[in-house]
Structure formats: C-alpha cells, structure tokens
Amino acid sequence: MVHINPKSSTREQWGDKLGFIMATAGAAVGLGNIWRFPYICGENGGGAFILAYLVCIALISGPILIAEIIIGRASGQGSGSAFISLSPKGESKLWRTVGVVGVLISFLLVSYYSIVAGWTLEYLWQALQGNLEMFSGDKSQSFFDEFMNSNPRQIFWHIFLTVMTAVILLGGINKGIEKLSKILMPVLLILLFSLAVFGVTVEWGALENPTSLLDLKSIQFLFVPDWSKFTMDSAFQALGQAAFSLSIAVGTLIAYGSYLDRKENIVNLGSMVIAMDTMVALFAGVLIFPIVFASGLNPSHGTGLIFVTLPNLFAQMPNGDILVILFYLLIFFAALTSMISLLEPGITHLIDEMSSTRPKACMYVAIASSILGVVWILVGSLQQEFLFFNIDKVVSNFLIPLEALAISIFVSWVLDKAVSKDQLSDVGMKFYNVWYFMTKWLCPIAILIILVKGLISQDMGG
C-alpha cells in the first residue's frame, strides 16, 4: 500500500518551491560552511579535502537528504511519527525511537550551536560600535579569551538568539520560516559573493604579503590537492562535514519535507539545495583564504580562524570597519536560518505528537534549549575544551552518523518500495535505481565503517 500524506489536507505547506529551496538551503548553509569548512579544509590538504568532501556529498549525504525528504513528504509527519506511520506493523517501536532520537539530536545540537552563533552577535555588536581597535594585533586573541571567560555575555547572546528564533517560528512555515528565508538567503549570497570578489581582487597594501594575491596562491591552495596532508582521518572528517553541512539526520529535512507539496520534484529541489550549500562553502574558502594568505598566516588555524585571525586582519585593512560588519552579518544570517531549522523539528514534534499549539510549542522548546545552553556555558567555563571537543564530538561523530545509518536502512530495507518509487516518480527509473542502490548498500556500509573507526580511535584515546 502506498501511504501518502495522511494529514496533508490540514497541514501547512510551503507557499512555492522557492520557499522550500530557500528554507532548506537556509538550514544547510550555516556555521558549518563559513566557520568549520574553511579551517578543516586548511588542515586537510585544501583541494584534496574538497574532492573527498564532494564525493561524500554525491554518494552519501545527498542520497540521504533525498531519503529524508521522501520520508517527511510520504508520511506528512515530523521525524517523531514519520517512521511509525510508514513502517510495517511490529517494527514500529524501534522506528519510533529512531524518529524521536532525530528530534533529540536537533535539540541537543541547537543548544550549543546557538552559543557559537551568539559569538558572532558579540562580534557584530562590537563591529557596529566601531570597536575595531579591540581586534588588532595581540588584542584579538585576548578579546576572544576574555569573551570566552565571560559567562554573562555568552549567556545573554545565547538566550537572545534562542528567543529571537522562537519568535520567528511563531509565524509558522509560511509567515515565519519561508518569508524570512526568502529575504535572508539572497542577501547572504550577495554579501558572500561581494566579499569573496573583494577578497581576491583588493590591493593588500597594509598586509605583510601583498603579492600573494596576484599569483592566486590562495585559490590554488583551495583547488589544487595537497595529498601529503590528506590522511585517513581527513576522509572521515570529510564525511562528517558533508553530513553536518547538508543538515541530514536531525529531523530537519523530514519536518521540512512534511510541508512539501506532492507535485514538487524532490530530486530537483534537493539538488538545488546541495548545489547552493556547496557553493557557499567554496565561496567561504575563496573569501577567507586570500585574506589569511595575504597576511602570511597559516590557513589551518582551527576554531579561532574567524574569531581571532580574521578580525585582526580586518582591523588592519582599509575600510576594515565596514568589512567586518558585513562579514559578521553574513555569518549571523547563515547561523540564524540554521537555528530556525534546528528548533523546528522539536516544535513540529510537539504539535504533531502532543497536540500542542504552535505558540506553546515555540515557548517550550525555546525555554528548554535556553536552559541547556546555559548549562553548557557554565560547564564550559569550568573546563574550556568541554563544549566543542566533547558534546560536538558525540553529536557529529556518533549520533548523526548513527541516525543517518538508521535512515538509509529504513528507506531502502524497511519502507515499501512503492512509496519511494511513487515519491521519486518524476525522475525516471534509472535515477531511482542508482539512488536506491546507494541508500541500500553504499551509505550503510560507508557509515558503519566510519562509526566503527570512530569508536576504535576513541578507545585508543584519539
């Protein structure tokens, strides 16, 4: 039997395909593209990492992104109940757990994602006040350290951002997510493009190494592979990044798919989202590396790259005061649309499962996420490295791959083939068979290897 949208007649839907594309691209484009991608790329052989990343997108994350939209649209439900309504009787308990775990991951993820997003607001705030001096020279590192040690400031931005996101979500799918994404995403693309063009063409008279731009060393670094820096671990990081960046396995895509009209072509829309996400990551590299190279620095500067290295460089540039504002505005917009997509699975869950009203669901999720984030900040202040090296490791290296594994197994081994065929009926059998093969064999095997390898290296203290 083919199950199609049992609740679709009463369920809100995206106004048009552009709304879905912008909202989903908004989910995908985030701190992962602008903060994480450039430095992981810098540490793992530039172009070599990009190649591995593209392969992971095409063979693993992309097919799973499509699988999740199928699950969402076919069931017309958020992650918490989508799996049960599509699974054969008897297996429901297990699949219910899988669905709920997806929602829980989004909740866990947003509770610390908003902390980093809050850092960008602090920087934007300083930039708007013209406090560029604070970022120059050694002051840049001490400003960052001092901010990291200031619990009240971090807590303020975290709660401010969480509440702001919940208020946007009060508007629902059309008037909240869709409307905002249709404005923010084009602005983000224009900002990124202009800054990237500026990054490769400007005369860096004030910087240490101004000629490097003319020979485009930085662009070469991005696109010419350096295999000597590419290790087995780089391949694992490429897969982790490909999963994180496309926002798979956290309930977001299932929830967004559940609001998608039956007549839309999932593969076309999904491909546009993937193309946009990849383009933004590459442009972020094109924007960031020339600046780093021109100042004679090393591009593999870890998490501090956009909070320590770049503000310092902006502080030394002509028109740096405007550039720094535009740069943090760009990151803030990217983070905000991702935060929206991370709070929505919990809200959809409360509405679908607990018959909650949207305003109440927004309030509960915002309060819970604010509290959890405050806990991370307080714990983090006792043990600096705690936040990213432990919670993010568990979420990105363990929970997301595990959930992605379950999704690929569900969509190919458990779900009635007639359902997925019906959902992808507009792309032809050839494509369908390739996608089906990937989710049935390639994705589970690749993810299993990653998981096992991750667990072994944990054991060995890696």
Return the closest-CA partner of residue 255 out of 425, 12, 426. Answer: 12
Q: Which is nearer to ligand PHE, 27 or 387 (CB)?
A: 27
CA 203 to mean position of chain CA atoms: 33
User: Which member of 53, 244, 314, 328 binds ligand PHE (CB under 6 A)?
Assistant: 244
φ/ψ (deg, to 5) at 225: -65, 140
- Considering the complex, state which of residue 206 and residue 368 has its C-beta at the smaller distance from ligand PHE: 368
Task: List C-alpha distances in Å: 146 to 6, 129, 152.
Answer: 53, 18, 12
If one asks whether residue 79 binds ligand PHE (CB under 6 A), the answer comes out as no
Q: Verify binding: residue 32, ligand PHE, rule CB under 6 A.
A: yes
Rounded to the nearest whole angstrom, what is the least distance from the CB of residue 241 to ligand PHE in the complex? Answer: 9
Q: How far is the CB of 343 from ligand PHE (least distance, A)?
A: 10
Total residues in contact with ligand PHE, by rule CB under 6 A:
15
Q: What is the DSSP letter of 88?
A: P
Compute the least distance from the CB of residue 81 to ligand PHE, in Å.
19
Phi-psi region of 45 (alpha: psi -120 to 50; beta: other; left: phi over 0): left
Site residues for ligand PHE, 306-325, by CB under 6 A, read none
Q: Decide if residue 112 touches ligand PHE (CB under 6 A).
A: no
| Shortest Å distance, C-beta 337 to ligand PHE | 9
Pick the closest to residue 128 from 333, 322, 331 (CA basis): 322
Asked if residue 243 binds ligand PHE (CB under 6 A), the reply is no
CA distance 426 to 401: 29
Q: State how far the Cα of 50 lies from the Cα of 162, in Å rounded to an integer.
A: 32
- For ligand PHE, the closer CB: 105 or 132: 105
Interaction of residue 341 with ligand PHE, rule CB under 6 A: yes
Binding span for ligand PHE by CB under 6 A among 121-129, 131-139, 325-333, 335-343: 335-343
Return the range that interacts with ligand PHE (CB under 6 A); candidates 24-32, 125-133, 161-169, 441-449. 24-32
- Alpha helix stretches (DSSP H) within 246-357: 252-258, 266-294, 310-316, 320-354
d(CA 70, CA 84): 14
338 interacts with ligand PHE by CB under 6 A: yes
Minimum CB distance to ligand PHE smaller for 396 or for 412: 396
Closer to ligand PHE by Cβ: residue 199 or 346: 346
Contact between 118 and ligand PHE per CB under 6 A: no
Among 75, 126, 154, 245, binds ligand PHE (CB under 6 A): 245
Binding of ligand PHE by 140 (CB under 6 A): no
Give the shortest CB-276-to-ligand PHE separation in angstroms.
Answer: 12
H or E segment and range at residue 183:
helix 179-201
CA 96 to chain centre: 24
Options 116-124, 137-145, 246-254, 389-397: segment touching ligand PHE (CB under 6 A):
246-254
CA-closest candidate to residue 314, choices 187, 129, 140, 146? 140
Task: Find, among 61, 135, 128, the residue nearest to 313 by Cα.
Answer: 135
Query: How far, in Å, CA of 125 to CA of 422, rounded?
Result: 50
Question: Which range of residues in 134-142, 160-168, 239-247, 389-397 is near ligand PHE by CB under 6 A?
Answer: 239-247
Task: List, in sequence order, every residue forming a beta bridge with 46; answer none if it has no partner.
Answer: 225
Note whether 245 and 37 are within 8 A (CB): yes
Nearer to ligand PHE, 28 or 173 (CB): 28
Neighbour-count burial of 440, counting CB atoms closer than 10 A to its CB (0-12 exposed, 13-18 middle, 19+ buried): middle
Q: Using CB under 6 A, pick the residue from 342, 361, 407, 419 that binds ligand PHE.
A: 342
At 434, the amino acid letter reads: V
Q: How far is the CB of 136 from ligand PHE (least distance, A)?
A: 28
- Whose Cβ is closer to ligand PHE: residue 27's or residue 407's? 27
CB closer to ligand PHE, 157 vs 244: 244
> Which two tokens mark 95?
């699949």
Considering only the stretches 88-96, 240-248, 360-368, 428-436, report the one whose residues sit in contact with ligand PHE under the rule CB under 6 A.
Answer: 240-248
Q: With binding defined as CB under 6 A, does residue 30 bind ligand PHE?
A: yes
The verdict on 295 binding ligand PHE (CB under 6 A) reads no
Element (H, E) at 243: helix 232-245
Backbone angles phi, psi at 250, to 5 degrees: -130, 15
Pairwise CA distance, residues 260 & 181, whole Å: 16
Interface ranges with ligand PHE (CB under 6 A): 27-28, 30-33, 109, 244-245, 247, 250, 252, 338, 341-342
